Amino acid sequence: MLAIESDALSKVYRSGMFRRQEVTALTGFSIQVETGQIFSLLGPNGAGKTTFIKMLLSLAAPTSGSASVLGRRLPDVRVREKVGYLPENHRYPGYLTGEQVLRYFGALGGAPSGALPGRIATLMELVGMSQWRTMKVKKYSKGMMQRLGLAQALINDPEIIFLDEPTDGVDPVGRKEIREILRDLKRRGKTIFLNSHLLSEVELVSDRVAVLDKGHLLKVGTVDEMTATGQAYVIGITGTLPDTVTVAARAFVIGLSQQGENVTAECRTTAELNQVIDLLRRNNVEITSVTRQRSTLEESFISLITGEGRP
């Protein structure tokens, strides 16, 4: 079953006198997210990422199109029984302690009151907040608030967890811990929908990634698909490539260059790559490694946003 499905979802916000000012937040957005995946939505500020989550949670109504969560067509209040949400810039009541926040929102989420104390203790431990659970939230740092927010999103043992900038304000050690929590949740079959600006982190945890810009979906795929750069390969060798080999190889590949002990071969097919390898071996060049050349997710993202990498 698909965890999330949207079909040509669009959102236009209207404001001003007589609601005449229009801002298009999302245009014809269609994606499918399978259960048990970590799916990340990337995009610059104002791309429509948060709007999409808000429409899935019925916080905003679509202007057109449709969406479903866990097989239920939206809007459907019952969907929210199986969903956890960590909003961006969330505000918890400062007069409550961390533990009280979880009890309050757990009760609102419909968790049985008998099960809450145990669940709160487990979650506080999970997000590393056990020792501050009785401290008033108004004394929490930004990082502590994010950890509490993550625990709040998990309090009702949801099937899908929407996280909007979950590592915002969290230190590197904390970010690593959150990544581990996300991986653990995935192992337990949960679906995680992530909005984040921290592309290096998204790259580390995501199964699939979608890139949005100005409300339009630019590309969707696995991290490997997003970062692959055509048929370029990096061949590790010892020593220097003889000029005769370089000339011979350039006769059948798009390009060949050497930098240090790495030879980059731009091929049209894997057959060409094998031809290059055969050529090197015939000329007694020792090969130490062969890897497909990749860009980072950040490079791919920037390339897509600036238009260079658009399909």
Partner 1 sequence: MKIITLVRGTIRELAAKATLYVLAGISTLMLIFAALAIGADSTADGMSITFFGKPASPPVTHDTLAELAGKLEAGFAGGLFFGVVVFGVLGTAGVIPDALEKGTVDLYLSKPIARWQLLLGKYLGSVAVIFLNILYFIGGLWLIVGVKVGVWNTQFLLSAFLLTYVFASLYAVVAFFGVVSRNMAIAIIAGILYLLLVAGPLESRQTGLYLLSESGVYRGILDGLYYLFPQIPAMESGAIHLISGEQALVTPFAQSLLSAGGILGLAAWLLQRRDF
List residues near partner 1 by CB under 8 A.
13, 54, 57-61, 77-78, 80-81, 83-85, 87-93, 95-96, 104-105, 107-110, 152, 156, 162
Q: Which is nearer to partner 1, 60 or 287 (CB)?
A: 60
Q: Which is nearer to partner 1, 23 or 254 (CB)?
A: 23
- Least separation in angstroms between residue 234's CB and partner 1 is 45
The amino acid at residue 136 is: K
- Least separation in angstroms between residue 186's CB and partner 1 is 21
Q: Which is nearer to partner 1, 11 or 219 (CB)?
A: 11
Containing 85, the helix (H) or strand (E) segment is strand 83-86
Tell me how far apart the alpha carbons of residues 65 and 56 are, in angstroms, rounded to a whole number.
12
- Least separation in angstroms between residue 274's CB and partner 1 is 53
Tell me how far apart the alpha carbons of residues 24 and 277 are, in angstroms, rounded to a whole number.
52
The shares of helix, strand and coil residues in the chain, as percent rounded to the nearest 5, are 40, 30, 30
Q: Which is nearer to partner 1, 110 or 311 (CB)?
A: 110
- Least separation in angstroms between residue 145's CB and partner 1 is 11
- Least separation in angstroms between residue 146's CB and partner 1 is 13
Q: Which is nearer to partner 1, 89 or 238 (CB)?
A: 89
Q: Which is nearer to partner 1, 107 or 277 (CB)?
A: 107
CB 120 within 8 A of CB 148: no
C-alpha dist (Å) from residue 271 to 94, 181, 275: 64, 42, 6
- Least separation in angstroms between residue 217's CB and partner 1 is 21
**Cβ neighbours around 297 below 10 Å, total:** 22
**Cβ neighbours around 51 below 10 Å, total:** 24
Strand duo 21-34 + 72-73: pairing: unpaired
